[in-house]
Amino acid sequence: MGLLSVPLKKPSEVDVAKPLKTLIQSNYRNLQPEQLNVINDAISELNQLRNTAVWKVFDKQDAGLELNYRYYDQLSALESKIPVQELQVPFKWKDAFDKGSIFGGRISLTLTSIAYERTCVLFNLAALQSAVASNQSVDTDEGLKQAAKLFQQSASIFTFLKTLASATIQGEPTPDLSQDSLNALANLMLAQAQEMFVIKAIKDNMKDLIVAKLCAQCEELYSEALRAMQRDSVRALWDKEWIPQVAGRQAAMHALTMLYHSKVSQANKAFGEEISRLQKAVELFKTAQSRSSNPTLFAEYANRAQKSLADAKKDNDFIYNEIIPDVNNLPSPGKAQLAKIIPLATHLSEDFHDSFTALVPVAVNQALAACEGRKAELVNGEIMRLREATTALNGLLSSLNLPAIVEVTASGDSLPPSLQEKASAVRDKGGIAQLKELIERLPELFTRNKEILDEAFRMMDEERDSDNQLRAQFKDRWTRTPSDKLAATFRTNGEKYRTIINNATAADKVIREKFAAHKHGLELLSMTTDQLAKQIPSAGAGSNSQASNSSAAQTLRSLMESVETMKAERECIEAELKGLTIDLKERFLGALATEGVINEPAISLSEIGKVIGPLQEQVGETLARQQVLSTEIREAHERFVSESGVSTDQRDRTLSELAAAYDVFTELQGYLQEGETFYNGLTEILLVFQSKISDYCFARKTEKEELMKDLTHESSRQASVAVTPIIPTHHTSTTATNESAPSSSAPPASSAPAPYPHQMQGIPMAATYGGNMAPMGGFTGYAPPPMPQGFNPYGTLPYPSAYTGFPPASMVPPPYYGTYPGAYGAQHPQQQPQPGAPGAPNPPNNPMGW
């Protein structure tokens, strides 16, 4: 039949696995190890599926369709679950129609965008469908049915791509993805699909008028395709035989319309009309064969028309003697369109299974992270209030030498029981040696994080210097976006990390200073009981055993018990605060499904308040009780000193020093242990950040190499552009200007592409869960992962209590890597997956029974 099939875009090998694993690891930090293992396996399968599917299309067999259906479906499902602007995978695809030059090299485009990958996969699916359809046998009903189905699906995809490609590629696309080329291909595929219905109707001996209407519609579709293909912007794309063949088939369909309409005239005994239509049919068949340079094109039908014309003339000359009217004054048979753009289904593959079910949509994941951040901020604030109050209370007791002063007066020169307990606790926890070891590890942890961050900046600097050098060399021809602009967000976030590290070193200094100030007391507490007893001065003259029985002493002992009870209560409150969990996953999913956006603050603050509110009340109550308790302790202490005559001698000062040293030991040990956790958590985050920088630099390197190659071959490509014969304007359609009649099913006229951006149904413009997103001019909107949740004890020092002040995750334009000369710019924000794929049921009211 000589039907046309669309050439395929050639992909390049890429590794999707490593960048995707890094991305998911950084954005889904709450995944359990077993979930992460399942996702890593799914990523490996996706990578293997990609490298199989994109090359399988070149076999031009049915098997390649299913593989690419599955790959496309998985990309669409994954795209809504990850911040795609952060995925630094350079997807490179070559133009389908460009054959390169004798010097090598073809037009290509490289983008780090899953939407661009989906666009190219869809293009190849439509091209493969056209190839498989063209190879079907039109001599069988099954072949015709399959060809019609595939041509319609191909037309549907090319129509859909007109919207998707414009949203995906803001800069200049490769010629095959331009609006004009996609429009021409969609019209061509639809015309060839209609031709399958024409052949089926003829084979089934359907009524002549129905066949004529189908042919008339097919002729109109070929006319639209021909006009689209002859536009100046795309005329040079096609193989040299494409336009002549389409022009020939357009004329042939017009000829068939006349042939079968003449039979209607014969049945109505309008013999003059019959002859007029047959004459036109014979003329058009010759035109079709001439245009296509194929003398056998529809030769069988041309011979039928010639014979019928001879018989009709003979009968008219001898019997009817009817006047032969001008064919241009005769009515048309009307039109019937069966080939249509098929509504797109949700999934292309009939048995698609999402391998990434453990991941939630990006908006939900961002809402969960924001909710967790709000909860952590409130929890840390309450814990901070408790610890600051406890520290103040300990300071008060130390200044009053409590509870030791009460115990001293009762036991003379022996060690107070409370002091013995504190010294024993310090020794059990490793004493001063343990603190020294933890403090000495801080510089090593600091250096490790600093080196990771320095390496990330070194890679960015190296990439920037290379870009600046080539820009100076090629000047205006070096058209890609400058590195300083693309990496601006990376550098900003890197500086924030550096600030965090610097703040952490300041906190380390405070810890070392506090350790030095209480070193003597810590050394004493680390001694054995006998050694410690020898270091405590004897009780002064003011001490007497009867003081322990005074009412003031008894009151102080009672108050000390209240202090211990309050500290135990606070430990319980702190444990409950740290253990708070809020799972709003289903709420967020429901909001996204029903409203399309997630108002995270409104949902989170309400739910967090319900959970943390009772604990906040308990914190307020214990702080209020401390105020009263502190006043009572001071008053009781004053009465005790007055009654017992105990003075502040050297022994009292030593005991007070040891009490303060114990409090410092407990405080520093907690800070140092959690500080080590802080540094280790920061190391993980910085490694992810460094990996993202590495992916960015690799993508830029790929872009650089492609652009340099294109600059080298640009001249040869321009010189080797093939010239396609131009069909004269009057050949665009063989339909007479006044031969028109209303069509019951004529297709809508081709419309110009909608102004960019075009809002596609099912593809909302990128927006955050809480409102509109502000576009950023940088490379990608990298959102630094939060620190591990939970209270950060360094918050009581100059240490950063958490990663604060970072910009929220922004759906900013991913980088646009154009390897087609002049095709550089910013990528359109990533869209949500467009539901739909060829494969829906055939249009209703199909007389063919397909």
Kind plus residue range of the DSSP H or E element containing 820: none
Please, what's the largest Cα pairwise distance for the chain?
155
pLDDT at 769: 32
Domain-embedded: residue 514: no
H or E, element range at 67: helix 62-79
Q: Smallest Cα–Cα separation from 767: which of 831, 684, 705?
A: 831
Domain that holds residue 201: 10-329
H or E stretch covering 110 = strand 108-111
pLDDT in the model for residue 102: 52
Whichever domain contains 198, its CATH number is 1.25.40.280
For residues 92 and 701, give the distance between their C-alpha atoms in angstroms, rounded to a whole number. 13
Task: Note whether residue 20 is domain-resident.
Answer: yes
Please choose, from the candidates 846, 740, 850, 735, the residue with its C-alpha nearest in 3D space to the C-alpha of residue 222: 735
Give the Cα separation of 289 and 304 in Å (integer).
15
- For the beta sheet containing 91-94, the strands, ordered from the edge strand earlier in sequence to the opposite edge, are 91-94, 108-111, 816-817
439, 672 Cβ separation under 8 angstroms: yes
The confidence score (pLDDT) of residue 841 equals: 40
In a domain, 592, yes or no: no
Residues with Cβ < 8 Å from 36, sequence gap 6 or more?
24, 25, 28
The answer to the question of residue 29 being in a domain is yes
Amino acid at 497: Y
- Collect all residues with Cβ–Cβ distance below 8 Å to 178 and sequence separation of at least 6: 233, 234
The pairs formed by 440-449 with CB atoms below 8 angstroms and a separation of 24 or more are 441/676, 442/508, 442/511, 442/672, 442/675, 442/676, 442/679, 443/508, 445/676, 445/679, 445/680, 445/683, 446/501, 446/504, 446/505, 446/508, 446/679, 448/679, 448/683, 449/501, 449/679, 449/682, 449/683, 449/686
Q: What radius of gyration do the chain's Cα atoms show?
A: 41
* N-term to C-term CA, the chain: 21
Going by the DSSP 8-state scheme, the letter that residue 798 receives in this structure is T
**What pLDDT was estimated at residue 170?**
78
Token pair, residue 404, equals 């030791």
pLDDT at 813: 38
The parts of the chain modelled with pLDDT lower than 50 are 409-411, 541-544, 715, 717-725, 729-730, 736-844
Q: How many domains does the chain have?
A: 1
For residue 833, whether the previous peptide bond is cis, meaning omega lies within 30 degrees of 0, is: no
Whether 127 is in a domain gets the answer yes
DSSP per-residue codes, 535-584: HSPPP-TT--GGGGGSHHHHHHHHHHHHHHHHHHHHHHHHHHHHT-----
In a domain, 429, yes or no: no
Res 746: pLDDT:
41
- Residue 408's pLDDT is 53
Give the up-direction half-sphere exposure of residue 141: CA atoms within 13 A in the CB hemisphere. 6
Give dist(CA 26, CA 689) in Å, integer.
Answer: 9
Q: Which amino acid is at 629?
A: L
Residue 250 included in any domain? yes
Cα angle value 812/818/822 (rounded, 5°): 115
> Which contacts of 423-428 are long-range, i.e. CB under 8 A and separated by 24 or more positions?
423/524, 423/525, 423/526, 423/527, 423/529, 423/532, 423/658, 423/662, 424/529, 425/662, 426/522, 426/525, 426/526, 426/662, 426/665, 427/525, 427/526, 427/528
SS (H, E, C) 311-326: HHHHHHHHHHCCCCCC
Long-range contacts of 748-757 (CB under 8 A, 24+ apart): 750/183, 750/187, 750/224, 750/227, 750/228, 753/162, 753/166, 753/179, 753/183, 754/163, 754/166, 756/166, 756/167, 756/170, 757/166, 757/167, 757/828
Q: Report how far residue 87's alpha carbon sits from residue 21's, in angstroms, rounded to the nearest whole number.
A: 10
Cβ(829)–Cβ(76) below 8 Å: no
CA distance 56 to 584: 43
Cis peptide before 838 (omega within 30 of 0): no
CB 125 within 8 A of CB 175: no
- Residue holding tokens 């009412």? 551
With respect to residue 785, please indicate whether it lies within any of the assigned structural domains. Answer: no
* pLDDT tens-place string over residues 773-824: 333 333 333 344 444 444 444 444 433 333 333 333 333 334 443 433 333 3
